[in-house]
Structures are given as C-alpha cells and as structure tokens.
C-alpha cells in the first residue's frame, strides 16, 4: 500500500477511536448529577480531551472547566450510575468511576495486559462483563462490581486469513463490538491484516458465545462484505425491537477497491447471517454529497422502526493533503434498514472525530464539528428540521455523546 494511503488509514483509525471518560486521576468536578442528563466528551488536540456532564434541555455554552481531562482515544461505557473507561489504543487498563456526592472517584482498575488494547465493554449483569482486547485476540471476562478478573477467552482459533480461512498465520481476529441476546453474546470481529492497514481478511465475522458457560457456540461468516463493526464503544452492532441483530461492516474503511461496506442481519432465533438480507452502503443510489459515493458510516444510533441515524462519509470531499479535523466529509443521514434507503438530514456536514448521536426527548442530538460551530445540534424527526448552528456550543470537538 502506498505511503499516502497508509497515513490516511492511521490518521482515520485514530479519528475512529471514540474517546471516553477517565484518566488515572481520582476525582473530577462536574455539574450536579441531579441536573446533568447528557455526557459530552470533547477533543482539544491529539493528546488532550475532556469529559463533562451537562443538562441539554436549554441552549448554552459548555466549557471544560469542571471536566475530567482524558486522552481523546479512550472509550467510555456507562452502567448503572458508574462510568467505565477502556484505554483502547492508548493503554492497557479499564478504569471504573463512581459518583461520590457531586464528583466521580476512581473505584477500581484492571490491567488487561501490555498492548492488549481494551476497546469495548459489554455488560451481562452486575457481576459479569466482557471486554474485547482487540490487539490480543481475546475477551476478558470480569466482575464490574468489584473490578476483578474472572477469565480470558482465547479467540485466536477464529482468525481469518485473506482467503477467509482459519488456517493462516494471523492469530488475531480483532474482537470489536458485541450485543447480548437470549443468553448469547454476539461478538463481531474486525478481521483485518493489521491495525496499521486495516485491510479486510476474508469475510464478515461474528462469534456466538454462551454467556452462562463462555463456550463458543458458532462462528458466523459471510463473504458479501467484511470488517465487522469497530473496536470501540460497541458501535457497529445493534439489536432492533424484533430482536434481529444488525452488523455494520466497514470493508477496509473504503481504502481498498472492490470491498463493499454494508449491513448484515442475524435474525431472531438464528446464529448465522440471514442469506436474504444485505444492505449495501457502498452502492447507495441518489447521494448528492461530493461525487455521490460513500465509503460507509462510522457512528450510528438506532431509534426503532428501522430508523438508523448516522453520518455517511464521502471521501471525494477530503482535501489534499487530508485534514481530518477541518475536512467536513461526513453528512448526517437517516438509514431505513428495513427498506434499505438513505435520506439526507437537515444538518450541516461534520468531520470524522464527531461521533455522538442520541435520542433526547422528542429530538435526536448530534455532536457535530461543522463550519457553523462545534457542539450539539438538534434534529426533529416530526418536522424534518435541524439546527444549522449548535444550540449547545462546546469547547473543543464533541467527540462522544451519551445519555446520562
């Protein structure tokens, strides 16, 4: 692969790693938890970010004055009032924070192994959670209540080579994101040659694990697309109200011709991909941004009735050389996963660092870094109207937004 493409991949991979909450500090001052209802993380530069709790019902300027300083490549996962931070590319720890009056205190740390890249956490219950160790090809099973390790599940036997076989030299299937349904963990595998080049290895890949016993029940594979989900914040796999599971496949993030990104489905009651469903994102017709060709999407928020809010990336809009902070190549869209259509939203374009979409009352909130300003933008599904300037401005790029 040429140098420009390699730099492109590395820079984008960094931008794709959602930031999270936490550092090794022991406390943080935030808005009163009684008032805050949204957590917003911001990116200042490549090494500095902040996480803040705020109330999102009124317009205002949000600052980082009372936030926790973080590295902008870590990931955050809320669970029953606590906040868990996985260091991802920037370390080998999972840190738990709990509320103490109006601040958060460090409540435990798990070291996951040098270079292991703890990237996502899936909670089974109060005493059992799974953490994908994306750079070691393992799943860590731990107790989120007392932050103790239970075991590790070795997934090396399920790594695919370029031909989609499991007998190659690659022993890391890159566990990404997961969802639990009916006592089974459906864990998506990125299956790339390396995190430096992120070239697809063969097929879409989801490993099905029995939560009670941690035994692998099946390895679902599909050659219609590849690179299943992403190793951050459980993005890329979700379940609808019918209990059908949908898996977004990035297919080498658009860097390799001939690899098509798209969504696959594992129907309720099944442990294999539905042969009758494939929503191709690469081949979406009627797109009006850039040259009309999207490489896929990196974020999503499922809002029921088949409606998936996201932002499609249009590589033809990148500058030369590429500027991942200032290039506004991602346009908010709503995807109808049932009818396989895409509708452009009345919101400004943003960059790849902005990664938060949530439902908030009767609105959908997007964290955007647009030419019109950095912050939270509202979209009204009833009227189809969206903010053209941020109603809540942030100090820095809003890289992560979650309901508090």
Token output for 131: 């953490």
Query: Look-up: residue for tokens 């790849």?
Result: 352
Token output for 27: 């406390």
Contacts of 2 (CB under 8 A, 6+ apart): none
In a domain, 98, yes or no: yes
Spell out the per-residue pLDDT of the chain, length 404, in tens: 333 333 334 344 554 443 333 333 333 334 444 578 888 888 899 888 887 888 999 999 998 887 778 778 888 888 988 889 898 888 899 999 887 776 778 999 999 999 999 999 999 999 999 999 999 999 999 999 999 999 999 999 999 988 888 877 889 999 999 999 999 999 999 999 988 888 888 899 999 999 999 999 999 999 999 999 988 776 789 999 999 999 999 998 888 888 899 999 999 999 999 999 999 999 999 999 999 999 998 889 999 999 999 999 999 999 999 898 899 999 999 999 999 999 999 999 999 887 789 999 999 999 999 999 999 999 999 999 999 999 999 999 998 888 87
Burial of 70 (0-12, 13-18, 19+ CB in 10 A): buried
Q: Are strands 296-302 and 278-280 parallel, antiparallel or unpaired?
A: unpaired
In a domain, 354, yes or no: no
Looking at residue 213, its pLDDT comes to 98
Domain hosting residue 220, numbered range: 19-30+67-281
Q: How many C-beta neighbours within 10 Å does residue 304 have?
A: 9
* Residue 3 to residue 294: CA distance in whole angstroms: 22
CB-side exposure of 109: number of CA atoms within 13 Å? 13
What are the C-alpha distances in Å from 398 to residues 192, 224, 367? 28, 34, 5
Rounded (5°) CA angle 278-174-4: 85
Kindly report, residue by residue over 164-187, the tens digit of the pLDDT.
Answer: 888 778 899 999 999 999 999 999
CATH number of the domain that residue 118 is part of: 2.130.10.10
* Residue 109 to residue 147: CA distance in whole angstroms: 7
In a domain, 352, yes or no: no
In a domain, 275, yes or no: yes
* Residue 186 to residue 206: CA distance in whole angstroms: 6
Q: How many domains does the chain have?
A: 1
In the chain the first and final C-alpha atoms are separated, in Å, by 42
In a domain, 315, yes or no: no
Q: What 3-state class would DSSP assign to 158?
A: helix
Q: What 3-state class would DSSP assign to 206?
A: strand
Considering only CA atoms, give the Rg of the chain.
Answer: 20
Residue 168: which H helix or E strand, with range?
Answer: none
* Residue 123 to residue 129: CA distance in whole angstroms: 4
What are the C-alpha distances in Å from 147 to residues 44, 106, 303, 369? 30, 11, 32, 35
In a domain, 296, yes or no: no
In a domain, 391, yes or no: no
In a domain, 43, yes or no: no
């Amino acid at each position: 692969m040429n140098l420009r493409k390699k730099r492109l991949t590395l820079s984008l991979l960094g931008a794709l790693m959602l930031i999270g909450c936490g550092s090794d500090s022991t406390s943080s001052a935030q808005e009163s938890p009684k008032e805050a209802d949204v957590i917003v993380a911001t990116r200042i530069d490549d090494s500095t970010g902040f996480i803040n709790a705020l109330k999102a019902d009124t317009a205002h300027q949000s600052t980082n004055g009372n936030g926790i300083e973080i590295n902008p490549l870590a990931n955050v996962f809320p669970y029953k009032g606590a906040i868990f931070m996985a260091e991802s590319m920037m370390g080998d720890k999972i840190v738990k924070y709990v509320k103490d009056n109006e601040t958060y205190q460090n409540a435990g740390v798990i070291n996951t192994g040098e270079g292991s890249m703890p990237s996502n956490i899936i909670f089974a219950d109060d005493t059992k959670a799974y953490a994908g160790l994306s750079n070691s090809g393992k799943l860590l099973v731990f107790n989120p209540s007392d932050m103790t390790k239970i075991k590790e599940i070795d997934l090396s036997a399920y790594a695919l080579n370029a031909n989609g076989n499991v007998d190659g030299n690659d022993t890391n299937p890159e566990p990404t994101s997961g969802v639990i349904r009916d006592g089974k963990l459906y864990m998506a595998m990125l299956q790339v040659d390396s995190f430096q080049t992120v070239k697809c290895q063969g097929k879409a890949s989801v490993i099905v694990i029995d939560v009670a016993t941690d035994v692998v029940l099946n390895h679902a594979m599909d050659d219609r697309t590849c690179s299943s989900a992403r190793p951050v914040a459980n993005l890329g796999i979700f379940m609808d109200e019918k209990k059908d599971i949908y898996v977004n496949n990035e297919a080498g993030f658009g860097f390799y011709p001939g690899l098509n990104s798209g969504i696959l489905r594992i129907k309720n009651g099944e442990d294999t991909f539905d042969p009758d469903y494939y929503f191709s994102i690469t081949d979406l017709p009627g797109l009006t941004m850039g040259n009309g060709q999207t490489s896929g999407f990196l974020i999503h928020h499922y809002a029921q009735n088949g409606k998936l809010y996201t932002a499609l990336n249009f590589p033809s809009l990148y500058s030369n050389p590429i500027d991942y902070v200032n290039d506004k190549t991602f346009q908010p869209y709503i995807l109808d996963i049932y009818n396989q259509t895409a509708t452009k939203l009345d919101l400004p374009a943003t960059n790849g660092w902005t990664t938060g979409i949530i439902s908030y009352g009767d609105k959908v909130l997007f964290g955007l870094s647009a030419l019109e300003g950095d912050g939270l933008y509202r979209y009204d599904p009833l009227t189809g109207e969206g903010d053209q300037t941020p109603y809540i401005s942030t100090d820095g790029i809003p890289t992560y937004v979650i309901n508090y």
